[in-house]
Amino acid sequence: MSIGFVLWDVFPIPLFKWIDFQGHVKYMKRTFKDIDCVLQSWLDEHVKKRERVNFVEGNEEDFIDVMLSMMSNEDFVDGYSREPTIKATALSMVLVASDTTAIHLNWVMATLLNHRDAMKKVQDELDTNVGRNRWVEESDIKDLVYFQAVVKETLRLYPPAPLLAPHESVEDCIVQGCHIPKGTRLWVNTMKLHRDPKIWSNPDTFDPERFLTSQAGVDVRGHQYEFIPFGSGRRSCPGITYATQVTHLAIAHLLQGFDFSTPSDEPLDMKEGLGVTMRKADPIEVLITPRLPSVLYKF
């Protein structure tokens, strides 16, 4: 997420509320109106669909359908009616999942451009399991075990959210000898955990094979607590399924369909940027070459 400096946020003095030298507040309000129009159109479309005579509850329902079925026009959540509640919830899921997913896609491609041998292995795996006469589909991903290991290893080295959302201790407790009083605000340092030499051998080295051997049973859902790119437990990221499906399918399509190289053929700088999410500091410039029959590129 890009962050702009607004004087009112830092110094909540009434006078500063009206100062907007750089136009951030004006831009934010205009953007909010545009986003709200999109969300309203989604909601209106679903409401009209449910008003049709032949609509059957439970048939091909998506997230908005489920919320509409659970809330009536008279229901209120924290003082808000059904319409703004559904729009706010949908916006939260879309923004969080799309931003971190795009960041992860960027890191995977940058990492593979610096490890051409791994990129070649993924493409060979795609050729073996999918072939070059059709595009990879979601049902193929389960057979691409090395590709899945590459995605996991990139998540380990470059988690889109280096710090998970804060949690608060509801009671006094002791964790590995450390006393944590009730009410303590806790931040989980994902980056530190994912590069802990006590858990990972050669933690700063890109090694997808670790998820096929020593860490073969470790998944992205945080069940083992040593690998938690999406958090763990009931407070883990609700967009994990969406993010993993989109990431796997998008990257698989790119690697199946094209060969990639850099203009100078030099290694990319993998420096991280600053922000709530961990973006790559510098954009990627690539040269792409089609590797499938030309007929497959006609959509």
Dist. CA 297–CA 157, nearest whole Å: 33
Dist. CA 135–CA 297, nearest whole Å: 10
* 237 has binding-site annotation: yes
Dist. CA 164–CA 190, nearest whole Å: 7
Dist. CA 74–CA 137, nearest whole Å: 43
Structural contact between residues 91 and 39, judged by C-beta atoms closer than 8 angstroms: yes
Residue with tokens 């710090």: 163
What count of residues does the chain have? Answer: 299
State the angle between helix axes of 145-157 and 116-129 in degrees (0 to 180), rounded to the nearest 10.
150
Neighbouring residues of 51: CB distance < 8 A, sequence distance ≥ 6: none
**Positions at the binding site for heme:** 237
**Positions at the binding site:** 237
